[in-house]
């Protein structure tokens, strides 16, 4: 069990500053003569803009600038792949998150008053708020190409024939909600105009270089004139991968010649931020009498909202993972990502895997019940083997992770079944146990730019600079870097200077996303360590007059390889820097691509991790409330680098997914969000966290696997919902098909059945 490991106690480099409140986030920064910005968002989810009147706002004392679409010198659009989201709308709005104008003023209060003085003449248009009707021939077209953003499919075998051979078939439609990222630090920061005509952007983002590229298009200026400082930030979970308020602060800063700060309120964040894709997933799955899966038919409808964001990639991921870790002879999967006038959906921890895994594992449990086979045994009979092809018949790194996870889960499941109900004394509380498993790809996948790299250098202060373009989003990346570098170079944490999240200081090594950062750090250091070590030892040998082979790196500097009695190095890193960097700074870098399948499968992955979840719940028959008592996870993702960080990712992910299962839904009606704050959007607190959470790490990799540890930033969230819903079914016999599971649905089930299951259980 990971919590019992002896080596788990390393304190993360940013840990003390975080828990003492000393760490300055980018929204904490202030500058002289700083102005405050505010953004005016659309009143309607869909409307024509007839006119924008800004004169009264401009005349308000304290207002320094008001901007509209006319003030954009470059491209009026942004988006990670397709720049279809207007920075400032000109003739039409498609979502209540759309920006129409922005203001910079001496105080935030004045900026807010100025927004009230801007008058926009709208002509409301019909609202398309349902992805299923958005494709009707008479539905209003939201974009020139219609309302279908993306279509993805996968066909294997003959699904019609497969179902003809089946003896057991289940068909169900599942609905999953729009979920908020709910990071503690909402979007914000400061943009500072520089003397050279450029700007420095101090804002949290998952990809500083990508932000820089997009801003250069909007501002119509060279990327070299834009510096993006993007770490640290108070959470992201995918929500800060897109631009949000950066363009407005940048435009206002350049127009006023003064620093401009924008920090969104929670309501503003809710309105303008991306969300997890709501999906409707219909699955028909069949087996033979022994439980062998023969046919699987899937239709996914995703509501991507008003703009593309990463909707196509999320849909591709869901289609790829629709069969999970199972081998099925006949498969037919079709996915549609559809534009509506709802809020924009995009990247979110799990990236489409959570939605489709909820449906797939629900199918497995329903089949198990119909067949009279234990849920875990049904899964075992259908698992992929170590050298099987991937979910879309593409080549992947050999891995037996699925089998190892199931065997570990079986042991836990058997143990918990034996202990069930031993301490329940309340007849209106029913307990249940459920399990689920998942297979999750890391990296961006085939056909997508997914470059990486890193740099090691000895700086003039005598510290080893470790530089990556990845951002620290709160996930503990700094601890991962520190652990890997000190382990590989045998130096001390105090010898290191870790640089990340600043485009002027670090190389372009991709973003913190898709569970890729840990893998990339490990790979980069493997590629860099020998060249860097050789350079250091060569310089030291010249200075000391000793053979390079007699020297080694160690804590504080260069040590004699054979001398085990000395308490100090022969030469400190500072002395080495003063000597060696005088001629040519010691620096090595590397650049490489994240491994992807060699087969042309859109978004197809190569490295996969696996997880199994065991959930125990209590269902209150009087209130319909569900209490999750236990969430245990077994994760197969290769060697653990940072035990505390690993625990934090898996346990934190589990609690986030608990909210997805039971309470969280950013509901929209007619294109408007129903909730405006956390008082009506309920995320789990410590009171909702399970009393028991155990994490087991399976660190074994396939023989010959040279890809090292996989990231675990997402997998802790993926299979939690189906485990919880199966546990609910185990407790009261109700099959949830819609998330979050609401108390009303459970109470209706209990009342309709007049407690027949309860009475039987008590008898």
In angstroms, rounded to a whole number, what is the distance separating the alpha carbons of residues 719 and 278? 17
> Residue 257: exposed, middle, or buried by beta-carbon count in 10 A (0-12, 13-18, 19+)?
exposed
- Summarised one tens digit per residue, pLDDT across range 316-360 is 999 999 999 999 999 999 999 999 999 999 999 999 999 999 999
Are 52 and 210 in contact by the 8 Å Cβ rule? The answer is: no
Q: What is the pLDDT of residue 638?
A: 97
Which of the four pLDDT bands, split at 50, 70 and 90, describes residue 488?
very high
Helix residue spans in 452-608 (DSSP H): 477-489, 517-544, 573-580
Residue whose pair of structure tokens reads 């003397």 in the numeric block: 195
Q: Which residue has the higher pLDDT, 757 or 619?
A: 619
In angstroms, rounded to a whole number, what is the distance separating the alpha carbons of residues 63 and 727? 57
Q: What is the 3-state secondary structure (H, E, C) of 449-483?
A: CCEEEEEEEECCCCCEEEEECCCCCCCCHHHHHHH
In angstroms, rounded to a whole number, what is the distance separating the alpha carbons of residues 203 and 119? 30
Q: What is the pLDDT of residue 756?
A: 54
- For the chain, the 3-state helix, strand and coil shares in percent, each to the nearest 5, are 30, 25, 45
Angle in degrees, CA 559, 562, 563, rounded to 5: 60
Q: What is the pLDDT of residue 11?
A: 86
In angstroms, rounded to a whole number, what is the distance separating the alpha carbons of residues 664 and 191? 33
Write out the two tokens for 294.
């023969």
List Cβ neighbours of 552 (8 Å cut-off, separation of 6 or more): 490, 537, 558, 559, 560, 561
Q: What is the pLDDT of residue 422?
A: 60
Which of the four pLDDT bands, split at 50, 70 and 90, describes residue 418?
confident
Question: Is the Cα dihedral 650, 651, 652, 658 positive or negative?
Answer: positive
Mean pLDDT of 372-377: 98
- Summarised one tens digit per residue, pLDDT across range 47-74 is 999 999 999 999 999 999 999 999 999 9
Helical pair 311-320 and 353-371, crossing angle rounded to 10 deg = 30
List Cβ neighbours of 350 (8 Å cut-off, separation of 6 or more): 276, 440, 714, 717, 718
Which of the four pLDDT bands, split at 50, 70 and 90, describes residue 520?
very high
Q: What is the pLDDT of residue 8?
A: 67
Which of the four pLDDT bands, split at 50, 70 and 90, describes residue 4?
confident
Q: What is the pLDDT of residue 421?
A: 63
In angstroms, rounded to a whole number, what is the distance separating the alpha carbons of residues 77 and 719? 36
Are 231 and 468 in contact by the 8 Å Cβ rule? The answer is: no
Q: What is the pLDDT of residue 551?
A: 97
In angstroms, rounded to a whole number, what is the distance separating the alpha carbons of residues 517 and 483? 14
Write out the two tokens for 44.
């309607």
Write out the two tokens for 565.
């009695």
Q: What is the pLDDT of residue 547?
A: 96
- Summarised one tens digit per residue, pLDDT across range 95-124 is 999 999 999 999 999 999 999 999 999 999
Mean pLDDT of 229-247: 96
Mean pLDDT of 643-648: 94
Strand order in the sheet with 551-554: 551-554, 557-560, 571-572
Q: How far is CA 718 from the centre of its chain?
A: 11
List Cβ neighbours of 107 (8 Å cut-off, separation of 6 or more): 36, 62
Q: What is the pLDDT of residue 567?
A: 86
Give the other-Cβ count within 10 Å of 479's Cβ: 24
Q: Per-residue pLDDT for 585 more than 60?
A: yes
Mean pLDDT of all residues belonging to the chain: 95
Range list of β-strands (E), 63-115: 63-67, 92-93, 99-105
Q: What is the pLDDT of residue 732?
A: 95
Q: What is the pLDDT of residue 762?
A: 46
Mean pLDDT of 204-226: 97
Are 561 and 552 in contact by the 8 Å Cβ rule? The answer is: yes
Q: Which residues pair with 189 in a beta bridge?
A: 203, 262
Write out the two tokens for 663.
């309470």
Q: How far is CA 135 from the centre of its chain?
A: 29
In angstroms, rounded to a whole number, what is the distance separating the alpha carbons of residues 465 and 586? 10
List Cβ neighbours of 29 (8 Å cut-off, separation of 6 or more): 189, 190, 202, 261
Q: Per-residue pLDDT for 714 more than 60?
A: yes
Write out the two tokens for 502.
């600043």
Residue whose pair of structure tokens reads 């870097």 in the numeric block: 481
Q: What is the pLDDT of residue 350?
A: 97
Residue whose pair of structure tokens reads 């990508």 in the numeric block: 210
List Cβ neighbours of 396 (8 Å cut-off, separation of 6 or more): 389, 390, 597, 605, 606, 607, 608
Q: What is the pLDDT of residue 424?
A: 66
CA neighbor of 365 nearest in space, from 435, 284, 420: 435
Which of the four pLDDT bands, split at 50, 70 and 90, describes residue 763?
very low
Q: What is the pLDDT of residue 226?
A: 98
Mean pLDDT of 529-539: 97
Which of the four pLDDT bands, split at 50, 70 and 90, describes residue 423?
low
- Summarised one tens digit per residue, pLDDT across range 114-150 is 999 999 999 999 999 999 999 999 999 999 999 999 9
Question: Is the Cα dihedral 494, 27, 99, 43 positive or negative?
Answer: positive
Q: Per-residue pLDDT for 760 more than 60?
A: no
Which of the four pLDDT bands, split at 50, 70 and 90, describes residue 237?
very high
Are 632 and 692 in contact by the 8 Å Cβ rule? The answer is: yes
Angle in degrees, CA 389, 395, 400, rounded to 5: 50
Q: What is the pLDDT of residue 562?
A: 87
Residue whose pair of structure tokens reads 């079914």 in the numeric block: 729
Q: Per-residue pLDDT for 758 more than 70?
A: no
Mean pLDDT of 540-564: 94
- Summarised one tens digit per residue, pLDDT across range 280-322 is 999 999 999 999 999 999 999 999 999 999 999 999 999 999 9
Question: Is the Cα dihedral 341, 345, 346, 351 positive or negative?
Answer: negative
Helical pair 375-382 and 353-371, crossing angle rounded to 10 deg = 110
Q: Per-residue pLDDT for 579 more than 60?
A: yes
Q: What is the pLDDT of residue 582?
A: 80
């Amino acid at each position: 069990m990971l919590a019992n490991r002896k080596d788990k106690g390393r304190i993360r480099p940013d840990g003390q500053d975080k828990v003492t409140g000393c760490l300055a986030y980018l929204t904490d920064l202030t500058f002289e003569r700083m102005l405050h910005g505010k953004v005016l968002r659309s009143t309607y989810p869909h409307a024509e803009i007839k006119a924008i009147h800004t004169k009264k706002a401009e005349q308000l004392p304290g207002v320094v600038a008001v901007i509209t679409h006319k003030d954009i010198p470059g491209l009026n659009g942004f988006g990670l792949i397709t720049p279809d989201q207007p920075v400032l709308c000109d003739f039409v709005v498609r979502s209540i998150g759309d920006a129409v104008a922005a203001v910079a003023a001496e105080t935030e209060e004045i900026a807010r008053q100025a927004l009230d003085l801007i008058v926009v003449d709208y002509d409301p248009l019909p609202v398309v708020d349902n992805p299923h009707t958005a494709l009707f021939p008479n539905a209003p077209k939201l974009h020139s190409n219609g309302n279908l953003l993306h279509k993805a499919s996968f066909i294997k075998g003959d699904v019609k024939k497969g179902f003809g051979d089946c003896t057991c078939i289940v068909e169900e439609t599942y609905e999953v909600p729009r979920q908020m990222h709910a990071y503690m630090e909402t979007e914000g920061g400061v943009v500072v105009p520089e003397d050279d005509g450029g700007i420095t952007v101090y804002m949290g983002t998952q990809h500083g270089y990508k932000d820089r590229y997009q801003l250069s298009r909007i501002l119509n200026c060279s990327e070299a004139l834009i510096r993006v400082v993007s770490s640290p930030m108070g959470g992201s979970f995918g929500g800060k991968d897109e631009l949000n308020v950066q363009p407005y602060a940048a435009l206002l800063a350049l127009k006023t010649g003064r620093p401009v700060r924008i920090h969104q309120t929670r309501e503003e964040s809710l309105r303008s931020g991306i969300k997890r894709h709501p999906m409707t997933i219909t699955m028909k799955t069949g087996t033979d009498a022994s439980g062998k899966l023969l046919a699987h038919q899937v239709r996914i409808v995703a509501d991507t909202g008003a703009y593309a964001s990463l909707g196509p990639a999320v849909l591709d991921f869901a289609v790829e993972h629709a069969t999970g870790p199972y081998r099925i002879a006949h498969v037919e999967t079709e996915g549609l990502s559809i534009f509506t006038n709802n809020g924009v959906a995009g990247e979110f921890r799990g990236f489409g895997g959570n939605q489709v895994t909820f449906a797939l594992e629900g199918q497995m449990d329903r089949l198990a019940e119909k067949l009279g086979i234990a849920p875990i045994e049904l899964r075992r009979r259908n698992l992929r083997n170590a050298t099987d092809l991937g979910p879309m018949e593409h080549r992947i790194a050999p891995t037996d992770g699925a089998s190892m996870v199931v065997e570990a889960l079986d042991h836990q499941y058997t143990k918990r079944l034996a202990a069930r109900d031993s301490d329940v004394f309340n007849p209106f509380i029913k307990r249940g146990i459920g399990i689920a498993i998942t297979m999750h790809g890391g990296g961006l996948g085939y056909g997508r730019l997914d470059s990486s790299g890193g740099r090691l250098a000895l700086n003039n202060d005598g510290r080893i600079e470790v530089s990556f373009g990845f951002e620290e989003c709160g996930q503990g990346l700094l601890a991962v870097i520190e652990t890997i570098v000190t382990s590989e170079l045998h130096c001390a944490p105090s010898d290191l200077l870790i640089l990340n999240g600043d485009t002027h200081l670090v190389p372009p090594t991709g973003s913190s996303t898709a569970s890729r950062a840990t893998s990339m750090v490990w790979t980069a250091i493997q590629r860099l360590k020998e060249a860097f070590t050789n350079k250091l030892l060569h310089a030291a040998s010249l200075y000391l007059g000793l053979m390079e082979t007699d020297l080694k790196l160690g804590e504080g500097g260069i040590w004699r390889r054979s001398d085990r009695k000395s308490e100090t190095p022969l030469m400190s890193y500072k002395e080495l820097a003063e000597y060696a960097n005088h001629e040519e700074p010691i620096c090595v870098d590397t650049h490489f691509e994240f491994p992807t399948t060699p087969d042309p499968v859109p978004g197809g992955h190569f490295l996969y991790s696996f997880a199994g979840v065991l959930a125990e719940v209590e269902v209150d028959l009087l209130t319909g409330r569900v209490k999750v008592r236990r969430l245990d996870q077994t994760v197969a993702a290769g060697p653990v680098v940072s035990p505390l960080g690993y625990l934090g990712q898996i346990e934190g992910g589990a609690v986030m997914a608990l909210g997805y299962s039971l309470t969280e839904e950013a509901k929209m009606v007619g294109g408007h969000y129903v909730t405006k704050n956390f008082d009506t959007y309920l995320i789990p607190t410590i009171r909702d966290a399970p009393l028991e959470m155990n994490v087991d790490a399976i660190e074994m990799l396939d023989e010959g696997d040279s890809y090292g540890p996989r990231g675990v930033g997402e997998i802790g969230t993926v299979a939690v919902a189906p485990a919880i819903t199966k546990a609910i079914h185990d407790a009261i016999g109700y099959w949830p098909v819609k998330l979050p599971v609401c108390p009303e649905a459970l109470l209706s089930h209990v009342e309709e059945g007049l407690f027949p299951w309860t009475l039987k259980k008590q008898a």
